Structure formats: structure tokens, C-alpha cells
Amino acid sequence: MSAVATDNPASPAPSPTIRRLPPLLVNQIAAGEVVERPASVVKELVDNALDAGATRITVELEAGGIELVRITDDGCGIAAADLPLAPAPHATSKIAAPEDLDRIATMGFRGEALASIASVSRLSIRSRTAAEVGAHEISAEGETISPVRPAAGPVGTCVTVRNLFFNTPARRKFLRTPTTEGGHCRDIVESLAMAHPAVGFTLIADGRTVLDLPPNQSPRERIIAILGKELEPQLIEVHADHLDDARGLALWGMAGLPALARATAKGQWAFLNGRPIRDKTVQHAIREAYRGLIEPGRYPTVVLLIEMSPAAVDVNVHPQKLEVRFRDQSMVHSAVLRSVREALRAADLTPVITSPGGYVPRAGEERAIIGVGTAGGSGGGVGGRGFAEHFNRVQPGEVGGRLSYSAIREAVEGLGPAAPQAALPPQPQAEPVIAPPPRPVDRVLQVHNSFVVTQDEQGIVIVDQHALHERVMFEELIARIAGGKGLESQRLLAPATVEATAQQIDRLDDLAPLLTRLGIELTPSGPRTIAVHAFPTFLFDRGVEPEGFIRELLEKAESDGFSPTSEETLHEVLDMMACKAAVKAGDRMTEAELLELLKLRDTVERSSNCPHGRPTSIRLTIRELEKRFGRA
């Protein structure tokens, strides 16, 4: 007798139950966004100290902040009655209504930092206000918050965080070594210290003082103190001001010479109303300002302090408040790009040969202070030294020890009567920028048919003939294209043929607008060949063969990021043209040709670097010569 099989379909899975998460788990989830590592704790607590109006902040670390982070400040303190609310989630004194989110002027505002930190550590807060006789203390661990108890302490607040992630081992195991975590903490402290030069900062790691910055420094003094005194001769000041009630900004900063470019972006700092930010608009403007001055893949050293009306920016777009959203991105981009570009344009960017072990400043060097407005604007009627000098006079007592937007507006307007925005009358001319002095050329020497040696008032200048001629030709090509004229082309009596892949032939229609601007005419002439009918005249004159150039252009068109309609691609192709047409290393030049090339060095923009970013010239100063011959 056989068994009879019966169908028994599986019963549907029960619907998952929706439940309210316990407060501790909610805070630990929030901690995953706010508290990434000890440096995150340092940032949140220092932000609170700055919002409390502290003039001195001390940061103490043990084991890179993994075992201990202690932040002590002399700010306004927390009243004993408010202490129980301090570690509570979403409890804050900084906003009260939805409208406040449109004009956030404090470093912190969400009220979740202390609650998140308390959920993954052992937290204690000791604080005292000026109106209280003594201090009070409270501690929190997970969901447990102790009663408020009396304590001894001065006016201000001391927050201690121990054993970070002790109750979330999965998070703790992802922390790096104490040395690495301590380095991240130092980066945060230096960044916030740079944005708040009126506040004194002390960083103590495992009992050793590693950073001690006095209060009431100017922005320039604070930046130099952090970057290093040896870099001061290679930094130039920049600023822009464009002020109105809705969208204005005031910008001051320091830009490094191209020689200070690094392999990473760690040398770039941008601050908005005292808040360190990572913003693609600002980063792109900086990159464009240095285009052609540094090699691809390297990043300039730049510090920018930007002040704007809080209503002109949204800071509530990132859990750690690192990203912002500008109401008028184009205005910010224009201000940053133009101010940095004008500063670099007015400076002498020629690298200096130095002795081993140190940088020798350029003889008679003066730092350039550049005054510009944003594109299309009046510049606010303020320029030259006045704005930069005022920006350097930081007064304590402002929120976070920095100049507020309103204070900057009043200061800038106080430098002179401001005209109405409509129907501007003639403005007094701003103090002229400090431009490099003219370089007299009276004698030249070509060395190994590759380098040109001459002199100027500062010493000996050695020029790479190919790099300088490449820059000259590149700027000439850019000027022709910008003037609305395509490059002059010459038709070939018999078309030249270039071998190509099927994909390259298929892209010819996409490349047509770019090729037209370049004076190049191509058509398919077979399944694997392209015919060249017209070619730029100047390339013919310089002996550049169409076949090799077109083959390289087609290969470049297959690379990532090659867009036939973008200006970046146009510049890349014009650079390739200039490189192929320029005088080569090994080409012998007459004295007249050498003198003409050196004269062009003073008339062409960015003549200090070729379009690839390599230097076109270097200088051996008189002081360095004397030093090497034992006369200094």
C-alpha cells in the first residue's frame, strides 16, 4: 500500500510588529551619525564651549581620546537647574521655533550631541554660572542620569567623557590606534582654533602639552602659528567683500604659493561663520583658481574664513554639520575664485632655490593684500588694505570669539560711506595691488639648448624654455577662443588618413563642436580610418604632423571625464596643442629669440608655471648666493 502525497502549502509569514524603540537604542543610533570616533566627541564639545562664549578652552586626551576626553572652558556655564536636561535628547538652549532653523548662528543647535555621547560612554558634566556661589555636577551612563550634586569649580564648564564605546564593542573595535585617533583629535582642535583666533586653545595628550595657542590672536597670527612660521613667506593674503542684507559675504584668507601644493587636500581649510565646512562649491573655486599653477593630482594650501548672514546659508543638512547649502552658490563661487586668482596674479610665483634645511625668503619680499569684489559687483566700495587690516582686529566677546557677520558689515561700512546698491556713483579707487616689479633683461645665456639664464634685481633666474613657451602659446590660444574666434585652419591638398577604432569613428559627431573651435575637420573614410581635411595653421607652422596629433586626440577622447562641450576639456586640448607647438628642450635659439621669450614672461598671465603646473622658472637669490659662498 503506497502512501498518498498531500499538498501542504506553507502558511504566510506573520507581519512584523511595529514597536517604539527604547530611548537608549535611539540615542545609540543617533550616536552612529554624530559620534564616529574620539575626534567627533572633541568637535561637539568644543562647539558647545564656543557657543558658551569661552575665551579659553583646554582639551585633554588619554589614549588618543579613546579612554578620556575632557573639555574645560571658561564660558557662561550651565545653571544647576538646567543640568539634568543637558544630556537629555534634543534639549537645547540654541533654538526654540522652526523659524530659528533659517538663521542659525551657533556652532551647535540640534541638542543631540550630549545625549548621543552619553549613550556610548561614561559622561560627567561639572558647571557653574557667574550667578551661582558654587559649581554643580551630574553624570550619565546609558539611560542612567545621576542627581545633581554640589562640586568645586570655577565659572565655566568641564565635560569628561570616559571609555568611549565601552557598551558598543562592535563600534570600539573599528577605532584605530591611540596615535591615529589622537592625530584626528588634533586636526579638529587646530581647525576650530584657526576659525576662532580670539579664543585660546590648549591641547594636552597623555599629560604632554602638544598645542598651546594664546587668546586674542589675529587670524593671520593664528594661521601662521598652526601652519608653521617657516611657511609665512610663501603665503599671501586674499579677501573679497560683497555685502547686502540678504546674500552678502565677507571673505579673508591666506593662499599658499604653488610650491606649497600637497599630495592630499589636508592643506585646505574653509570656514563659514566660524564653522569648518567641506563644500564642493568652495573646493571647485579653489581648484579653478590654481588651474595651470600646480600639477594635476596636487592640492594647494589655502585657508579661507567666510562670513555670511545666517539667513543666506542652510547648515542643517549634515549630522556632523560639516556640509552646508548656500542660497546663492554662484555668488560664493565667484567671490572665492576671483579673490584667490587675483591674489595669485599679483604675486611673484617664481620658486626660490633654498639651502638644505630651510626656506630663504625672497629679498625685499612684500606680501600682497588684494582687494576685489565679486564678479559683476561693486566690491562693496571697500578694497586694498583697509578690509584685511580690520579683519585681523578680532575682538573677544563676539559669539565664539569671532567676528560676527553683522560686526563685519558694520566694520566694512565704517571704513567709508557706502553708496546705495542702485545707481552707484563713481567710487574712489581702491589702493592698487602690489604687483611684482618689472624684470629688466639685459643679458641672457642659453644652457644646453634647454634653459635660459638671466638676472633680475633679486638674483639669478633660470628659465625652462619649453615650459615658458608652452605657457605663452596656451594663453594666446585661450585668448583667441575667448574672443569668439575659432583657430585659423589650413586645408590639406590631399587628406591625411589616421587609423582609428570603430568607437573613435562613432564619436566624431559628438566631437564636432570641439573640432570646429579648434580648426580641425575630420570625416570617416573607411571602417578603420579617418580623413583629416583641415588642421590648425599654427600647428602646421610649428611642424606638428596631423596624423600623430589626431591619433593622440582620439585616444584622449576615450578617457574618463572627456566632455567635448566642457571648458575643462577645451583647456586640456589647447594645452596639448601648446605643448606640441612650443620650443623643445634641445632647440637652439638666437639671442633675439631668447630676449623676446623673456619679455613675454612679463606680459603673459601665470607665466610662473606651464599649463601642466610645472614651474617655468626658478630663482637663486643674491642672499642665497652669498650664503653658499660663505659671505652671509
Q: What percent of the chain has pLDDT over 90?
A: 42
Which residues have CB under 8 Å from 449's CB, separation 6+?
585, 586, 587, 588, 589
Distance CA(265)–CA(159), nearest Å, equals 32
Phi, psi of 73 (to 5 degrees): -135, 165
> What is the pLDDT, as a whole number, of residue 431?
40
Local structure of residue 81 (DSSP, 8 states) = G
339-375 pLDDT, tens digit each: 999 999 888 888 888 765 444 444 333 333 333 333 3
Across the range 503-517, mean pLDDT stands at 88
C-beta of residue 474 within 8 angstroms of C-beta of residue 574: yes
Q: Which three cell numbers stand for residue 568?
A: 575643462
Q: What is the DSSP letter of 111?
A: S
499-508 contacts: CB < 8 A, separation 24 or more? 499/528, 499/529, 499/551, 500/528, 500/529, 500/530, 500/551, 500/554, 501/528, 502/527, 502/528, 503/558, 504/530, 504/554, 504/557, 504/558, 505/530, 507/554, 507/557, 507/558
Cβ contacts of residue 372 below 8 Å, gap of 6+?
239, 240, 338, 339, 342, 379, 383
The confidence score (pLDDT) of residue 351 equals: 84
Whether the pLDDT of residue 96 is over 60: the answer is: no
Give CA separation, 256 vs 277, 341, 436, in Å.
19, 12, 16
Q: Which of 107-121, 241-255, 343-357, 459-473 has the highest mean pLDDT?
A: 459-473
The average confidence (pLDDT) of the chain is 80
Say which range, 102-106, 151-155, 354-358, 459-463, has the weakest mean pLDDT.
354-358
Task: Give residue 188's pLDDT.
Answer: 95
Does position 34 have pLDDT exceeding 60, yes or no?
Answer: yes
Residues in Cβ contact with 111 at an 8 Å cutoff, skipping those fewer than 6 apart = 89, 90, 91, 92, 94
Residue 247 vs residues 243, 271, 276, 313, 329: alpha-carbon distances, Å: 7, 17, 20, 9, 10
Cβ density class 43-63: b for 16+ within 10 Å, e for less: bbbbbbbbbbbbbbbbbbbbb
Separation of alpha carbons 268 and 333, rounded Å: 16
Q: Has residue 558 got a pLDDT over 60?
A: yes
Q: What are phi and psi of 509, to 5 degrees?
A: -65, -40
Q: Which segments of 427-499 does DSSP mark as H helices, in order?
A: 465-482
- CA-based nearest residue to 241, from 418, 435, 432: 418
pLDDT of residue 311: 78
226 close to 194: Cβ distance less than 8 angstroms: yes
Report the pLDDT value the prediction gives residue 320, as an integer from 0 to 100. 56
Percent of the chain with pLDDT over 70: 76
Residue ranges covered by each domain of the chain: 23-213, 219-355+363-414, 437-632
- Smallest CA-to-CA distance from 241 within 421, 435, 413 is with 413
Does the pLDDT value for residue 410 go beyond 80?
A: no
pLDDT of residue 413 exceeding 50, the answer is no
Half-sphere exposure of 385 (CA within 13 A, CB side): 4
pLDDT band at 226 (very low <50, low <70, confident <90, very high): very high
pLDDT interval class at 145 (50, 70, 90): confident
Check whether 278 has a pLDDT greater than 80.
yes
More confident position, 424 or 84: 84
What pLDDT digit, counting tens, does each position of 451-474 carry? 999 998 888 999 999 999 999 999
88-97, 290-299, 365-374, 568-577: range with lowest mean pLDDT: 365-374
> Rounded to whole angstroms, how far apart are CA atoms 386 and 413?
11
Radius of gyration of the chain (CA): 31
Q: What is the pLDDT of residues 165-201, one digit of tens each?
A: 988 888 888 899 999 999 999 999 999 999 999 999 9
In one letter, which amino acid is 276?
Answer: P
3-class secondary structure, 254: strand
Q: In residues, how long is the chain?
A: 632
Q: Helix (H, G, I), strand (E, B), or coil: what is residue 529?
A: strand
- Looking at residues 542-550, what average pLDDT do you find? 91
At 616, is the pLDDT very low, low, confident or very high (cuts 50, 70, 90)? very high
Class of domain 219-355+363-414: alpha beta
Q: Is the pLDDT of residue 405 over 70?
A: no
The 3-state DSSP class for residue 436 equals: coil
Check if the beta carbon of residue 352 is closer than 8 Å to that of residue 619: yes
> Helix, strand, coil % (nearest 5) of the chain?
35, 20, 40
pLDDT of 418 > 50? The answer is no
Residue 13: its pLDDT value, please? 67
- Sheet with 275-276, edge to edge strand ranges: 235-242, 249-256, 302-308, 268-272, 275-276
Name the least confident of 293-302, 411-420, 521-530.
Answer: 411-420
From 127-136, 219-228, 390-399, the region with the lowest mean pLDDT: 390-399
Which pLDDT band holds residue 442 (cuts at 50, 70, 90)?
Answer: low
**Best mean pLDDT range from 64-78, 303-317, 360-374:** 64-78
Answer whether 203's CB lies under 8 Å from 210's CB.
yes
Q: Which of 93-107, 163-177, 403-417, 548-562 is predicted with the least confidence, judged by mean pLDDT? A: 403-417
* Interatomic CA distance for residues 311 and 299, integer angstroms: 31
Q: How far apart are CA 164 and CA 66, in angstroms?
A: 6
Lowest mean per-residue pLDDT among 44-53, 309-318, 607-616? 309-318
> What pLDDT is stored for residue 385 in this prediction?
35
Report if pTM > 0.85. no
Q: Which CATH number fits the domain 23-213, given the four candidates 1.10.3470.10, 3.30.565.10, 3.10.150.10, 3.40.50.1370?
A: 3.30.565.10
Is the model's pLDDT at 245 over the cut of 70? no
Residue 312: other Cβ atoms inside 10 A = 20
Fold adopted by 437-632: formyl-coa transferase, domain 3 (3.30.1540)
Sorted by sequence, the CB contacts under 8 Å of residue 522 that are 6+ apart come out as 508, 511, 515, 530, 531, 532, 533, 550
d(CA 365, CA 370): 15
Amino acid 27: pLDDT:
62
* Residue 102: predicted pLDDT: 58
The residue that leads in pLDDT, 390 or 559, is 559
**Model confidence at 545: pLDDT above 70:** yes
pLDDT tens-digit map of 369-394? 333 333 333 333 233 333 334 344 43
- From 5-19, 505-519, 583-597, the region with the lowest mean pLDDT: 5-19
User: Lowest mean pLDDT: which of 166-180, 310-324, 535-549?
Assistant: 310-324
Please give the residue that has the higher pLDDT: either 207 or 439.
207
User: What is the rounded CA–CA span in Å between residue 169 and residue 235?
Assistant: 45
* Beta strands 459-464 and 617-621, pairing class: antiparallel
The distance in angstroms from the start CA to the end CA of the chain is 115
Q: Which residues contact 285 (CB under 8 A, 6 or more apart)?
A: 332, 333, 334, 336, 337, 340
Q: How confident is the model at residue 78 (pLDDT cuts 50, 70, 90)?
A: very high
- Pairing state between β 122-128 and 156-162: antiparallel
Neighbours of 361 (CB within 10 A): 14
**Cβ atoms of residues 392 and 220 within 8 Å:** yes
**479 backbone φψ class: left, alpha, beta (φ>0; ψ -120 to 50):** alpha
d(CA 464, CA 584): 10
Cβ atoms of 581 and 539 closer than 8 Å: yes
Q: Within its chain, how far is the Cα of 139 from the centroid?
A: 39
The stretch 38-61 carries a mean pLDDT of: 94
| Higher per-residue confidence, 554 vs 21 | 554
User: Strand 313-314 relative to strand 208-213: parallel, antiparallel, unpaired?
Assistant: unpaired
Rounded average pLDDT over 319-344: 84
